[in-house]
Amino acid sequence: MSSTTESLPFTPEEAAPPRNTAWRRFRRHRLAMLGAAVIAVLVLGSVLGPFVIPYDETYIDILHRFAPPFAGPHVLGTDELGRDMLARLMMGGRISLAVAFTAMAISMVIGISVGAIAGYYGGVVGAALMRLVDAVLCFPTIFLLLALAALVQPGLGSITLLIAATAWMEVARIVEGQIRALRERDFAVAAEVLGASDRYIVFRELVPNAIAPIVVSATLNVAKAILLESYVSFLGYGIQPPVASWGNMLNNAQIYLTSAPWLAVMPGLFITLAVTSFNFLGDGLRDALDPRMDQP
Amino acid sequence: MGSYFLRRLGQAALLLVVVSMIGFAILHLAPGGPLAQYAMHGNMSQEDLDRIAAQLGLDRPLPVQYADWFLRMLGGNWGTSYRDGQPVLHIIGAHLGATLELMLTATLAAMLLGCWIGILGAIRRYSVFDYLATIGAMVALSVPTFWFGLVAIFVFSVELGWLPAGNRETIGDGSLPDLLHHLIAPALVLALVETAIWSRFMRSSMLDVVGQDYIRTARAKGLPEWRVLSGHAFRNALLPMITVAGLQLPTLLGGALVTETVFTWPGMGRLFLDSIEYRDYPVVMGILMFSASLVLIGNLLADMLYAVADPRIRLG
Amino acid sequence: MDTLLEVENLAIRFRTAQGEAAAVSDVSFSLKRGETLAVVGESGSGKSVTSLALMRLLPKPPRCHVSGRIRLRGKDGALLDVLDLPEEAMRTVRGNNLAMVFQEPMTSLNPVRTIGAQITETIRLHRPMPPRAAEEEAARLLDLVGIPSPRQRLSAYPHQLSGGMRQRAMIAMALSCEPSVLIADEPTTALDVTIQAQILDLLRNLQQRTGMAVIFITHNLGVVAEIADRVMVMYSGRVVEQADVVPLFRTPLMPYTQGLLRSVPRLDLAGRRAGPLPAIRGNVPDPRRPPAGCAFHPRCDFFQPSRCDATPPTLDKTPDGREVRCLRWQDSLLMAGSGEALPPQRGPGAEPLA
């Protein structure tokens, strides 16, 4: 195996359909467009919102605890410590979305690497890696995540890593299958004959040709990561207060369910909205990028 | 078919070994390793710990420790709880019934409802019903289960007062109507995601089958449409659902954990969280391994059931 | 001989995402007792769609519109208007008066039900009888179509039979209610050549025994010569030529038929033919954008500019009772009479096959 990455005299062929057809199909998918719009609003609101509204999300105002929403200066009300709900939801959105995107990125790196290696080399290495994937998938994600979270110091970085560690397997499976199929195709063989390095063939020739399913599962993984973050944080092993996340805002909400139901309703709605949007977006991308689904 | 079963059994056994390795790795990667539970006791000196380590065989090479641990697990010795000194398997067994009750009820409800929605959606493809069912399933898959549980408690217990807000039974009652009364809300909450999954898979399976040549043959025979669907489409579309039932076991178990937490349901999920709270690692590890084994066995059973149900594999 | 089936001005239109498509227009034919009509054409010519329309198995409006008239003589001798029958009455026609055998024996039988269950289901649907008797009948039918040890085969699943045996089982199922008309949609295409011949033999025998009429859909002219009494050639959803099998093979009048005949490998010409087997150049037109004039003109060797691409040809009757849709059929006839081969540019065209 040579380790040089020389340039090849041909360009990899495009497996994805021409961009404009995919884009046209995507635009036809109204729910996916809606999802994309909602995501844009949520991201912008989380990033810019805190600069706009007059409340600090950590400011405790004992005199104005449990202010109901849509009445008075606190638009979405206040929580049990009198903190402004809207400010907390925006800051919580920053954390939840940042954790989800980062976890997605890490899980994609792990999943693509494992899948590409297993699919390209096959044989014992491939089989061993794929059995590892199967085995990890046997563990219910939440059990695994909680067990791991209980073992480490809870923190932003560790939670992100743990979510990524429990979400890379599906990607690995998809990439492995794609790479195994693509590997036999002419351009991979040609690249091999021309003496390209393995790493070059895998990451410059094969992975780009499997980009469509990778993009789709990346989108769906963001949805999954938001959900997982909310689960661990709700159960108290994720993002720790006073830092707000959509999940840990629900942490205490159960106690006040009778007196202040909005404490539980608001963050849950945001989680559902974000996750649904990413799922619709992923669905639309799948329809747009996968030409086999293009039936009249 | 015998060889198919043997091969499948072999694969499952291999997978169990890999699963156990992951469990072992988690146990040892944890800060402090298996000794952490003793170290936490506070009043132990380093000599004490070393002595325990030697006693537990933690000074031996890792592969030896793993083999020893794996064999003990196979023999049913899963260690004892740090909290009350009871054998781990015994504790799990005591909580399993409640979890199974919840999971089976939810699965039954989800299967019936999900299959019905999926079939109707496939038969009336692109109808308003199909469209709403598709969106509904997508939203149901996106709702955090615990939050849906909170909403259900708020609506049905707090506002309407129809259903209890938690627990498996009223203390001192425990009659069948009382048990069922407590079961409704958590089972429905757990069934939400399951229904969405079943309806999606059933729809695509049914669509796949309805497009097959033998359905056209059945129509060409002069069978009424309902007999084409019930006698030829439904049966064939149901086959892949066996695999689905196995594949979504991890989701079901995870959902049960969250649901049990919200509804203070005395099952395995609740036990798992309590054990984490108390740093009761033997029980945490035990439940982790137990749930993974359950998934593994469930998938194996599903595959075997499929082989029995499909004549192409049974007789092929 | 009495007429069993009469189709008049059948037209089928599909609604697709890209607009309306006329899959079949102005198709008329009739079928007598004991007769075999071969429907010939490339894929996309509308031949399979026509057969599904006869069975009324096409999608319902608005996705698909069927117009025209299909009259079928029922078992009691009364004439039924197939397109106007209520769905319930149509179900007693399907499988009972009109039966169908499909192209793919691998996929046309339900894989999870036994052969016996699938045949008895059909029998008991149209001829109420106890399960035992239906089973006897099914075994008799399997025997009739030449399946060895039929009683054991009743409990076999489709995947346990070979392709040829499966097609025999399909035929047994189709015959189970003694239909007056059997539609066979490319029943031998998926089978290898020796099995093909056996199935054709079987169909011919059964037809002689039962007197049923057969509509045989195929793109294989070798099979046509083997089995048909009459041939209907379809192109782009229209009948372009209809004639008895011998005159059609001897003097094809429509250039499309001539092209089809030329593209059949022929043993009698082995060695005499120069170059590869000629295929008709070009492709079947898109039914959503049919060419102006004659639909075949872009591929025709006899194309006359500003005539063939301007006037759509009508289906003309020739003096000897054949039907042909071509503006130049008289030229073809003249040239055939003068012994000149057609078309002159390309090798021998219309020699008698047998």
Q: Say how far apart CA B254 and CA B144 lie, in whole Å.
A: 12
Q: CB distance from C19 to chain A under 8 Å?
A: no
Give me chain B's average pLDDT, please.
Answer: 86
Nearest CA to B236 among B308, B299, B314, B310? Answer: B310
Token pair 């690995």 in the structure block, residue = A172
Q: CB distance from C18 to chain A under 8 Å?
A: yes
* Residue ranges making up the domain that contains A110: 19-45+73-293
Nearest chain A residue to B143 by CA: give it. A272
Q: Spell out the domain ranges in chain B.
A: 2-74, 88-309
Contacts of residue A234 in chain B, CB cutoff 8 Å?
A: 144, 146-147
Q: CB distance from B131 to chain A under 8 Å?
A: no
**Torsions phi, psi for C25 (to 5 deg):** -135, 140
Helix or strand run (H / E) with residue C162: none
Residue A193 lies in a domain: yes
Residue A9 lies in a domain: no
Q: Is the pLDDT of residue A199 over 90?
A: no
Binned at pLDDT 50, 70 and 90, residue A10 comes out as very low
Q: CB distance from B180 to chain A under 8 Å?
A: no
Q: Is the pLDDT of residue A142 over 50?
A: yes
Contacts of residue A222 in chain B, CB cutoff 8 Å?
A: none
Residue A96 lies in a domain: yes
Distance from CA of B1 to the nearest CA of C (A): 14
Instruction: Write the residue in A141, A250, A261 that is nearest to B254 by C-beta.
Output: A141
B214 vs C170: CB contact, 8 Å cut-off? no
Per-residue model confidence as pLDDT tens digits over A241-270: 888 888 888 887 777 877 778 888 888 999
Q: CB distance from B213 to chain C under 8 Å?
A: yes
Q: Say how far apart CA A219 and CA A233 lie, in whole Å.
A: 22
Across-strand partners of A8?
Answer: none
Distance from CA of B117 to the nearest CA of C (A): 23
Per-residue model confidence as pLDDT tens digits over A48-77: 877 777 777 777 777 777 777 777 776 777
Range with the lowest mean pLDDT among A87-96, C243-252, C271-280?
A: C271-280
B88-309 to CATH, choices 3.40.50.150, 1.10.3720.10, 3.40.50.300, 1.25.40.10: 1.10.3720.10
Q: CB distance from B139 to chain A under 8 Å?
A: yes
Coil, helix or strand at residue C232: strand
The conformation of residue A44, written as its DSSP 8-state character, comes to H
Q: Say how far apart CA A102 and CA A88 lie, in whole Å.
A: 21
CATH code for the domain in which residue A171 is found? 1.10.3720.10
CB atoms within 10 A of CB B151: 18
Across-strand partners of C79?
Answer: C73
Residue A213 lies in a domain: yes
Coil, helix or strand at residue B86: coil
What is the 3-class SS of C303-351, one letter each residue?
CCCCCCCCCCCCCEECCCCCEECCCCHHHHHHHHHCCCCCCCCCCCCCC
Q: Say how far apart CA C201 and CA C179 lie, in whole Å.
A: 19
Instruction: Write the residue in B212, B221, B222 that is nearest to C107 by C-beta.
Output: B212
State whether the Cα torsion B253-B257-B259-B260 is positive or negative. Answer: positive
Distance from CA of B163 to the nearest CA of A (A): 15
Nearest CA to C221 among C264, C283, C185? Answer: C264
Contacts of residue A146 in chain B, CB cutoff 8 Å?
A: 257, 272-273, 276
Contacts of residue B258 in chain A, CB cutoff 8 Å?
A: 142, 231, 235
Give me chain C's average pLDDT, please.
Answer: 83
Range with the lowest mean pLDDT among A75-79, B73-77, B294-298, C250-254?
A: A75-79
Q: Say how far apart CA B134 and CA B122 lie, in whole Å.
A: 11
Residue A176 lies in a domain: yes
Binned at pLDDT 50, 70 and 90, residue A14 comes out as very low
CB atoms within 10 A of CB A255: 12
Q: Is the pLDDT of residue A9 over 60?
A: no
What amino acid is encoded at C64 in this protein? C
User: What is the count of structural domains for chain A?
Assistant: 1
The conformation of residue A240, written as its DSSP 8-state character, comes to P
Q: Say how far apart CA B143 and CA B128 lie, in whole Å.
A: 22
Instruction: Write the residue in A257, A265, A271 that is nearest to B158 by C-beta.
Output: A257
Q: Which two tokens stand for residue B152?
A: 């259900």
